[in-house]
Structure 1
Amino acid sequence: MTDLFSPITIGGLEIPNRIAVAPMCQYSANDGSASDWHLQQWMTYAMSGAGMITIEMTDVERRGRISHGCMGLYSDANEDAARRALDAAKRVAAPGTRFGVQLAHAGRKASCRRGWERSGPLGADEDPWPTVSASALPFNANYPTPQALTEAGIEKLVEHFAASARRAERAGFDFIELHSAHGYLLHQFISPLSNHREDAYGGSLENRLRFPLAVANAVKEAVPGLMVGARISVTDWVDGGLSVEEGVEVAKAYKAAGLAYICCSSGGNSPLQKIPSGPGYQVHLAEAVRKGAGIPVRAVGMIDEPLQANQIVGSGRADMVALGRAILADPRWPWRAAAALGHELAVAPQLARAAHLPRKWEQAA
């Protein structure tokens, strides 16, 4: 029977279990370069026991960053810093752990403050920069109006994604995830809420997918040796926005382009969204994509209990689960899951003397 600790192969990449660390912005980079914070964070992820670790949203050009503290892979310095942190993480990782990076561009949601600061765009005295998008439509009334990308600008960004993918491969990552969710640039092109173009990149879903698919194809061509997947917003949760049915079509198109998995998230492209948040509130989206597109999927969103996560995988609703806040709160969450499910989890010998405690705690709960 499939459970959280069953191995899985996705796009030719063997992964030792079904637990993934979701990409989570740390807002702690220096002009896109991983800092000592990332060094310890990636090493912590590496020792967690999770089989698949996706490094945070990492931008393909400087103006694509959400904030001054966001990761990037657009310079030699970025690449060197990522290699340093990744090499350290791999040296302490559990056997078989796979590391990937989420390549992205924030588009009209760029030039904002760090996650823990006062929300919203950077002020005039905070070194802001101009933003771009599919159309000249701001995210909301408090955001500046982005410049609509020209066809030449779109083609240049496709090149940036490919160049960053090559940097990721040289740095030592095992796979790449394209960030096509949460209202960032690829999603801005896909969603009718933010794409009002009247050229070949707007209108029908086929046209709105033209730029994201060009990115997918360019990345696949740039790094044929790496597995490539995508995170998508399956629905916008807004009337007139991307529907679940269209989200499934997006996944089908990515599959046809050769992508190996879809991480199924939602929303992020409109302040009008109405999300019925709750434990596992997005699992039905992963299930819909898995059935409708026939592609391996990760479920994500308020999944924090081992039995809950195991039921999602065991019932066939998703192939993997991705943990966000749960892994920040408990970097040994996979240990707890192993104890709850009666599995033995291989841990570093330096930590082995504590491996029995999660079983003890689970029995006392």
Structure 2
Amino acid sequence: MTDKNTVSREPVTDSRSGGENARRILKRDPNPHLFRPVTFRSVTARNRIMLSPMCQYSGQDGLSNDWHFVHLGARAAGGAGWVFTEAVHTEPRGRITSHCLGLWNDEQRDRLARIASFVEAQGAVPGIQLGHAGRKASVGRPWEGSRPLRVAEGGWDDLVSASALPYANGWHTPMAMSREQIANSLQTLKSATRRAREAGFRALELHGAHGYLIHQFLSPLSNQRTDEYGGSFENRIRFLQESISTIREEWPEDLPLFLRLSCTDWVEGGWSLDDTVRLATLLRFQGDVDLIDCSSGGNDPRQQIPIHPGYQIPLAQAVRSRAEMATGAVGLIHSPDLAESVIANGQADLVILGRALLSDPAWPLRAAAALKAENVEWPKQYERSNIF
């Protein structure tokens, strides 16, 4: 973290644990830790709940539509502190599917601006995630099988990656990016960042996880380059560092930048938690990134992930404690008590919810009632139906 943030790096004492310090905390703020405001740079959110970027696969030509407006607007009205778009891609070939969103033209910017404005009007921080799918682009939607699509099926064949290695058998073999292609990719990222700023978003997250382009450079499983972008740790993080610097050329100094990482590949010989801690420590000293969104996996089908409620919380805790960097915890966090414990015990600074908020847009309001938060306001339109 940098001194631009007011997030404490020390674990917060739970007011129910007893002791004089706990009583002081209780006296200062009786609200649950989950519902205490949090500030990054100039942006303050009403609580520590963030809607995870969740692809909807419902756009056309990279354009958002009424589905995205309702989807994101409902989570803002439902009480989330941070409402992030799904992955918005920097160029057409960087989309996961042909129905994913993009930000390579002004019409896409203007559609997203309407969403950002409404989200902010509901009291949430409007955030946008920018990304590039790399070798995992040109696939069908999940309900269509998520299989690689050929040109005749509506896919595309100009995929790029760190190295000319397919994700798995039967997947597209991408081109290993030349230095010129890397430079062009950074320029498309810069343009997308400018448009995100112009659209009115107040937080930006760079997607460096789940086996997409930046992750493909980070992991030795997908990066077999022999130039300055491959081999050593310092070389494999170069594309990410250049991406961060490029974003900061357009993203205002007073607005926060988050980074989503797969903290481990869950495959021997791949990107590891130790690598993530080392990277996060470096980023903290450089001062451009404000929070690591701690996910995992997605870069190699051999991964063995021990999935259970809260299974990725230890990753966020490790990065927060060892790198002294603010983190967001994600991964099957469903209950208000579990979410509260993550913040109260200093395991992370934000709780990032995906499935829980997909199934219940008003999850934050219900959680506030369950945890007896006193500082949560219902939308005026819903106040009379507040039965929790």
Q: Deviations over 1:244-267 (max 9, x none)?
A: 101111222333251111100000
Out of 168, 175, 181, the position equivalent to 1:147 is 175
Aligned residue for 1:315?
345
Q: Residue 232 in 1 paired to residue 261 in 2?
A: yes
Give the distance between the partners of 2:190 and 2:301, measured in 1 at CA. Answer: 31
Aligned partners of 2:293 and 2:328 also within 8 Å: yes
Out of 86, 103, 115, the position equivalent to 1:85 is 115
Aligned residue for 1:362?
none
Aligned letter for 1:203?
Answer: G
Out of 38, 43, 46, the position equivalent to 2:73 is 43
Check 1:163–1:193 CA distance in 2 against 1; reply closer, same or farther (3 A cut): same
Q: Residue 188 in 1 paired to residue 216 in 2?
A: yes
Aligned residue for 1:116?
143
Aligned partners of 2:37 and 2:47 also within 8 Å: yes
Quote how far apart the aligned CAs of 1:126 are: 1.6
Aligned residue for 1:287?
317
Give the distance between the partners of 2:330 and 2:78, measured in 1 at CA. Answer: 18
1:4 aligns to what SS in structure 2? Answer: helix
Out of 244, 264, 270, the position equivalent to 1:216 is 244
Give the distance between the partners of 1:51 and 1:89, measured in 2 at CA. Answer: 10
Aligned letter for 1:320?
Answer: L
Give the distance between the partners of 1:229 and 1:124, measured in 2 at CA. Answer: 34
Aligned residue for 1:261?
291
Out of 225, 234, 237, the position equivalent to 1:206 is 234
Aligned letter for 1:73?
Answer: L
| RMSD, aligned α-carbons | 1.2
Matched pairs, number: 354
Aligned residue for 1:353?
384
Give the distance between the partners of 1:251 and 1:186, measured in 2 at CA. Answer: 15
Give the distance between the partners of 1:317 and 1:239, measured in 2 at CA. Answer: 26
Out of 166, 178, 194, the position equivalent to 1:166 is 194
Aligned residue for 1:100?
127
Give the distance between the partners of 1:194 and 1:39, measured in 2 at CA. Answer: 36
Aligned residue for 2:84?
54
Give the distance between the partners of 1:7 and 1:349, measured in 2 at CA. Answer: 21
Aligned partners of 1:306 and 1:340 also within 8 Å: yes
Q: Deviations over 1:86-109 (max 9, x none)?
A: 223333x1x3x1111000000000
Of 207-216 and 249-258, deviating more is: 249-258
Instruction: Give ranges in structure 2 of 5+ residues lacking alignment.
Output: 1-24, 26-31
2:380 aligns to what SS in structure 1? Answer: coil
Quote how far apart the aligned CAs of 1:271 are: 0.3
Give the distance between the partners of 1:334 and 1:173, measured in 2 at CA. Answer: 21
TM-score by length of 2: 0.89
Instruction: Give ranges in structure 1 of 5+ residues lacking alignment.
Output: 359-365
Higher relative contact order by CA 8 Å / sep ≥ 6: 1 or 2? 2
Of 218-227 and 41-50, deviating more is: 218-227
Q: Residue 328 in 1 paired to residue 358 in 2?
A: yes
Quote how far apart the aligned CAs of 1:35 are: 1.0
Of 256-265 and 276-285, deviating more is: 256-265
Q: Residue 302 in 1 paired to residue 302 in 2?
A: no
Check 1:85–1:12 CA distance in 2 against 1; reply closer, same or farther (3 A cut): closer
Out of 173, 178, 189, the position equivalent to 2:206 is 178
Q: Deviations over 1:33-90 (max 9, x none)?
A: 1111011112102101111111110101111000011011111111111112222333
Identity, in percent, stands at 45
Aligned residue for 2:274?
245
Quote how far apart the aligned CAs of 1:210 are: 0.5
Aligned partners of 1:213 and 1:257 also within 8 Å: no
2:85 aligns to what SS in structure 1? Answer: strand
Out of 89, 93, 98, the position equivalent to 1:68 is 98
Give the distance between the partners of 1:16 and 1:178, measured in 2 at CA. Answer: 22
Give the distance between the partners of 1:10 and 1:56, measured in 2 at CA. Answer: 21
Quote how far apart the aligned CAs of 1:335 are: 1.1
Aligned residue for 1:274?
304
Give the distance between the partners of 2:170 and 2:69, measured in 1 at CA. Answer: 35
Moved over 6 A (4+): none
Give the distance between the partners of 2:196 and 2:280, measured in 1 at CA. Answer: 23
Aligned letter for 2:219?
Answer: S
Quote how far apart the aligned CAs of 1:125 are: 2.3
Aligned letter for 1:48?
Answer: G
Aligned partners of 2:119 and 2:125 also within 8 Å: no
Give the distance between the partners of 1:251 and 1:132, measured in 2 at CA. Answer: 26
Give the distance between the partners of 1:201 and 1:136, measured in 2 at CA. Answer: 14
TM-score by length of 1: 0.95
Of 119-128 and 29-38, deviating more is: 119-128
Give the distance between the partners of 1:316 and 1:257, measured in 2 at CA. Answer: 21
1:153 aligns to what SS in structure 2? Answer: helix
